[in-house]
Amino acid sequence: MRVAAACLVVLAAGPALARDPSPQALKRGIDRILDREAFAPAFWGVEVRDLRSGRVLYERNARKNFKPASTLKLVTTAAVLDAIGPDERLRTTVETAGRLDSFGRVLGDVYLVGRGDPNLSGRFADGRRTAAFEELAGALWSAGVRRIEGRLVGHEGLFTGDRRGEDWSWGDLVWWYGAEVSALAFNDNCADLTVTAGERAGDPVRVEREPASSYYRVVSTATTSAAGTPPALVLARAPGSSEVRLSGTYPIGTEPWDGSAALEDPARYATTVFAEVLAARGIVVAGPVETSSQPLPAGVRALAAHESPPLLEMLKAVNKMSQNLHAEMMLRLLGARRRGTGSAEAGREAVTEFLRRVGVQASAWAMQDGSGLSRSDLLTPHELASLLAAMDRHPRAAAFRETLPIAGKDGTLKNRMKGGAADGRVVAKTGTLRQVNALAGYVTTRSGSRLAFVAVANHHTAPGSAATGAIDEIGALLAGF
């Protein structure tokens, strides 16, 4: 996600012989970066704190509220890791109360029951998007199922309330990072498109889509333009529609464009694709595809089940790839586990309870969602630093750090701070919104000190690359001590 003013928090803890950065050196170095003329209109906040002693080494506006963008995912994932644990697996099941007769017919409705697994996709299946559904279909076939006489119902009752976060922008909703939330989610609730130029200028572009489901259609009027001209593709999907429209031009000789368009009614999308996988396996669904959030009927039993990867792997996808949908699903899962209701509100209540328990004073915060996509999210660098400090002491500290991108190595930091002092020494969560850039995490310095940092820039009008460059300079400064 994106961010527009910057806040930095650094916390240091390390071996007894490690040399902590001096407050004077930090002040000179960080001030020099943040006081550039390009950032004169911006709002920066910085705090540097020694983790062992709690001593503040540097601060700037650290107790003021900032839009955190995706650094808010640190809060969500910390609370989920604390409440559920790294080894938990989530089950997606196929259930029925109907009888399976000797002809292989299920005499009744069949339910595809989602329980919050965000990875019914190709992410952990070598790119095979329908792998989980193929597994379930194979299990049904092995159990003797050949025909479902009733409806195929996608059940999403674990989560309740709004499917989108408060104050999400209309412009976000067509893209993968603004996908609707459901307890039954497939392929990140998106259609994946690849656009390739044609042979000659004026030819239609070629469009490949995955999965090639009947649930949605792609209508393209986009054409091929001459080599060397700038790409000018436009993707649109009207609210409430399952039709994705492509227009504009794409030049000869340009690498294929890959994009993911969010689709509405995720449970119906998932169930439609599952019905298509069943048909390919030879299992007929006689009734319609429907969805439900009502309690499952009495007497249901599982015919097949699919288990998710361990929770730790799911949280890596949230933080390393900054996956908004997954963060929102984790927030609602937390609400279901801790408060008995799978809503965003219940999830936020559980997060507040967790923060209070670990000593983070978040009373001045405004947390609207779990991903940071909301423009109304607010937090202070000081208390986000307190969370980082608390998680550094947490029994699951190592797992938490393992979820974070590594500078120059992977995730959203793969191509940042590469080759310098921070390469491999910074593990941190990025954040990006329009006019917002952020980074928050930990640093291991050359001298062996361990630092935790938060950098958030709000209201800057400089290019985003200028803000991220400044934040990366701070990361290199810290790593170089």
Of the candidates 62, 82, 83, which has an alpha carbon nearest to the alpha carbon of residue 386?
62
- Indicate which residue of 64, 67, 70, 371 is catalytic: 70
Q: Give CA–CA dist 285/169, Å, rounded.
A: 38
Q: Is the distance from CB of 1 to CB of 371 less than 8 angstroms?
A: yes
Annotated catalytic residue, options 64, 73, 320, 429 = 73
With 0-12 / 13-18 / 19 or more C-beta atoms within 10 angstroms meaning exposed / middle / buried, residue 26 is: buried
Residue-wise burial string across 341-354, b where 16 or more C-beta atoms lie within 10 A, e elsewhere: bbbbebbbbbbbeb
Query: Do 3 and 468 meet the contact criterion of CB atoms below 8 Å apart?
Result: no
Which element (helix H / strand E) includes 131?
helix 131-142
Q: 429 an active-site residue?
A: no
Query: CA 185, 191, 192 angle in degrees (round to 5)?
Result: 120
CA atoms 277, 283, 284, 287: torsion sign: negative
Strand partners, 208: 194
Cα-Cα-Cα-Cα dihedral sign, residues 292, 295, 300, 303: positive
d(CA 406, CA 415): 10
Identify whether the C-beta of residue 434 lies closer than 8 Å to the C-beta of residue 459. Answer: no
**In this structure, what token pair is assigned to residue 388?**
């980082």
201: three-class secondary structure by DSSP: coil
Q: Known catalytic residue: 409?
A: no
List of residues 6+ apart from 368 with CB closer than 8 A: 165, 166, 167, 374, 376, 377
Residue 330 Cα distances to 69, 187, 285, 307, 451, angstroms? 17, 16, 32, 16, 27
Rounded to 5 degrees, φ, ψ at 7 are -130, 135
**70 counts as catalytic:** yes
Which H/E stretch holds residue 438? Answer: strand 436-444
- The active-site residue out of 213, 225, 260, 322 is 322
Nearest to 91 by CA among 116, 71, 66: 116
Residues marked active site are found at 70, 73, 322
